[in-house]
Structure 1
Amino acid sequence: MKNIARTLASVLVLTYTASALAQASCSSDGILQPVAIFERFISADCEACWSDAATPAPSATAGVAVLDWIVPGKAGDEAPLSAAATNDALARLQTLGRKPPVTTDVHTAAIEAATPARLRVAHGMPFNDYLGAAIAFTPVQRAAQRNVATPGAMDFYLLLVESVPAGTEGTKVARNMVRNMLHGTWEKRDKLSKKEQMKWMETRSIRIPEGAEAERLRMVGWVQDAQGSVLAAAQSTCR
Structure 2
Amino acid sequence: MPPTLVRRLAACAALLPALTAWAQESALCTSDGRPAPRALHERFINADCAPCWREATPTPPPGTGVLDWVIPGHLGDDAPLSAVARREALQRLAALHLPVPERRAERSSTVQGGPHHVRVSRGPVFDGYVGASLTFDSRAPLKPPLTGWLALVELLPAGTEGSPVPRVLMRNLLSDTIAAHNTEDMGQLWRPMNVPAGAQASRLQLLGWVSDAQGHVLAAAESSCDDAGQR
* Corresponding residue of 1:71: 71
Q: How far apart are the structure 2 equivalents of 1:128 and 1:200?
A: 23
Q: How far apart are the structure 1 equivalents of 2:14 and 2:134?
A: 19
1:97 and 2:128 correspond: no
Cα drift, residue 27 of structure 1: 0.7
Cα drift, residue 119 of structure 1: 0.8
CA contact under 8 A between 1:186 and 1:200: conserved in structure 2? no
Cα drift, residue 168 of structure 1: 2.3
Indicate the SS of the match to 2:162. coil
Residue 102 of structure 1 aligns with an amino acid whose one-letter code is: E
CA contact under 8 A between 1:119 and 1:135: conserved in structure 2? yes
Deviation digits for residues 136-161 of structure 1 (CA, Å, limit 9, x no counterpart): 0123xxx4xxxx53553310000010
* Corresponding residue of 2:208: 221
* Corresponding residue of 1:16: 18
Superposed counterparts of 1:56-67, under 5 Å: 56-58=58-60, 60=61, 62-67=62-67
Cα drift, residue 234 of structure 1: 0.3
Pairwise CA RMSD: 2.1
Residue 38 of structure 1 aligns with an amino acid whose one-letter code is: H
* Corresponding residue of 2:86: 86
* Corresponding residue of 1:202: 189
* Corresponding residue of 2:33: 30
TM-score relative to the length of structure 2: 0.89
Cα drift, residue 196 of structure 1: 4.7
Q: Return the match for 1:184 from 176, 188, 194.
A: 176
Cα drift, residue 39 of structure 1: 0.2
* Corresponding residue of 1:123: 122
Q: How far apart are the structure 1 equivalents of 2:69 and 2:97?
A: 16
Q: How far apart are the structure 1 equivalents of 2:192 and 2:155?
A: 20
Indicate the SS of the match to 1:34. coil
Cα drift, residue 6 of structure 1: 1.1
Cα drift, residue 94 of structure 1: 1.3
Q: Which runs of 5+ in 1 are unaligned?
A: 190-194
* Corresponding residue of 1:166: 158
Deviation digits for residues 19-55 of structure 1 (CA, Å, limit 9, x no counterpart): 2343332010110000110000001111111111x22
Q: How far apart are the structure 1 equivalents of 2:162 and 2:34?
A: 29
Indicate the SS of the match to 1:2. helix
CA contact under 8 A between 2:155 and 2:166: conserved in structure 1? yes
TM-score relative to the length of structure 1: 0.86
Q: How far apart are the structure 2 equivalents of 1:161 and 1:67?
A: 8
Q: How far apart are the structure 2 equivalents of 1:196 and 1:160?
A: 23
What is the percent sequence identity of the aligned residues? 41
Indicate the SS of the match to 1:40. strand
Q: Return the match for 1:153 from 145, 154, 179.
A: 145
Aligned length: 222
Change (3 A) 1:97 1:152: closer
* Runs of 4+ with >4 A deviation: none
Deviation digits for residues 184-228 of structure 1 (CA, Å, limit 9, x no counterpart): 002468xxxxx959x962221111111111111111000111221
Q: How far apart are the structure 2 equivalents of 1:82 and 1:196?
A: 39
Residue 50 of structure 1 aligns with an amino acid whose one-letter code is: W
Indicate the larger mover: 4-13 or 69-78: 4-13
Q: Bigger radius of gyration, 1 or 2?
A: 1
